[in-house]
Protein backbone atom coordinates (compact mmCIF):
# COMPACT_ATOMS: atom_id res chain seq x y z
CA UNK A 1 0.00 0.00 0.00
CA UNK A 2 1.37 3.41 -0.98
CA UNK A 3 2.01 5.83 1.83
CA UNK A 4 2.64 9.53 2.23
CA UNK A 5 4.97 11.28 4.64
CA UNK A 6 3.09 13.67 6.91
CA UNK A 7 5.17 16.14 8.88
CA UNK A 8 3.30 17.78 11.74
CA UNK A 9 5.16 21.05 12.21
CA UNK A 10 3.48 21.74 15.56
CA UNK A 11 4.83 18.57 17.16
CA UNK A 12 7.75 17.62 14.94
CA UNK A 13 6.20 14.23 14.44
CA UNK A 14 6.71 12.50 11.08
CA UNK A 15 4.30 9.72 10.21
CA UNK A 16 3.77 7.43 7.26
CA UNK A 17 0.10 7.44 6.41
CA UNK A 18 -1.62 5.11 3.98
CA UNK A 19 -3.24 6.88 1.06
CA UNK A 20 -6.99 7.18 1.06
CA UNK A 21 -8.97 5.49 -1.70
CA UNK A 22 -9.47 8.90 -3.29
CA UNK A 23 -5.73 9.61 -3.25
CA UNK A 24 -4.96 6.18 -4.71
CA UNK A 25 -7.49 6.79 -7.48
CA UNK A 26 -5.97 10.19 -8.25
CA UNK A 27 -2.48 8.67 -8.42
CA UNK A 28 -3.66 5.99 -10.79
CA UNK A 29 -5.44 8.54 -12.95
CA UNK A 30 -2.29 10.68 -13.09
CA UNK A 31 -0.21 7.65 -14.08
CA UNK A 32 -2.68 6.64 -16.77
CA UNK A 33 -2.88 10.16 -18.14
CA UNK A 34 0.89 10.32 -18.37
CA UNK A 35 1.15 6.89 -20.01
CA UNK A 36 -1.45 7.92 -22.56
CA UNK A 37 0.27 11.23 -23.29
CA UNK A 38 3.62 9.46 -23.56
CA UNK A 39 2.21 6.87 -25.99
CA UNK A 40 0.70 9.64 -28.11
CA UNK A 41 3.98 11.54 -28.11
CA UNK A 42 5.92 8.41 -29.16
CA UNK A 43 3.39 7.57 -31.89
CA UNK A 44 3.60 11.12 -33.20
CA UNK A 45 7.41 11.01 -33.23
CA UNK A 46 7.39 7.64 -35.00
CA UNK A 47 4.90 8.84 -37.62
CA UNK A 48 6.97 11.96 -38.20
CA UNK A 49 10.19 9.93 -38.64
CA UNK A 50 8.47 7.51 -41.01
CA UNK A 51 7.04 10.35 -43.10
CA UNK A 52 10.46 11.94 -43.30
CA UNK A 53 12.10 8.66 -44.40
CA UNK A 54 9.40 8.17 -47.01
CA UNK A 55 9.87 11.70 -48.33
CA UNK A 56 13.64 11.22 -48.56
CA UNK A 57 13.18 7.94 -50.47
CA UNK A 58 10.80 9.59 -52.94
CA UNK A 59 13.17 12.50 -53.51
CA UNK A 60 16.02 10.06 -54.11
CA UNK A 61 13.84 8.16 -56.59
CA UNK A 62 13.36 11.43 -58.48
CA UNK A 63 17.11 11.64 -58.90
CA UNK A 64 18.12 14.06 -56.16
CA UNK A 65 21.51 13.47 -54.60
CA UNK A 66 21.98 12.96 -50.87
CA UNK A 67 23.40 16.46 -50.65
CA UNK A 68 20.42 17.96 -52.44
CA UNK A 69 17.99 16.13 -50.19
CA UNK A 70 19.91 17.26 -47.12
CA UNK A 71 19.82 20.85 -48.39
CA UNK A 72 16.05 20.64 -48.82
CA UNK A 73 15.56 19.29 -45.32
CA UNK A 74 17.92 21.76 -43.66
Q: In the complex, which residues of this chain contact another protein (CB under 8 A)?
A: 2-12, 14, 16, 19, 23, 26-31, 33-34
Closer to another protein by Cβ: residue 24 or 72: 24
> How many CA atoms does the CB half-sphere of 44 hold within 13 Å?
6
Q: State the minimum distance, in angstroms, from the CB of residue 8 to another protein.
A: 5
Distance CA 5, CA 19 (A): 10
Closest to another protein by CB, 25 vs 53, is: 25
Nearer to another protein, 16 or 67 (CB): 16
The whole-angstrom distance between residue 6's C-alpha and the CA centroid of its chain comes to 30
Q: What is the largest CA-CA distance in the chain?
A: 77
Amino acid sequence: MATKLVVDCSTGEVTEVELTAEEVAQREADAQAWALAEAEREAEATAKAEAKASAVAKLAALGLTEGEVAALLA
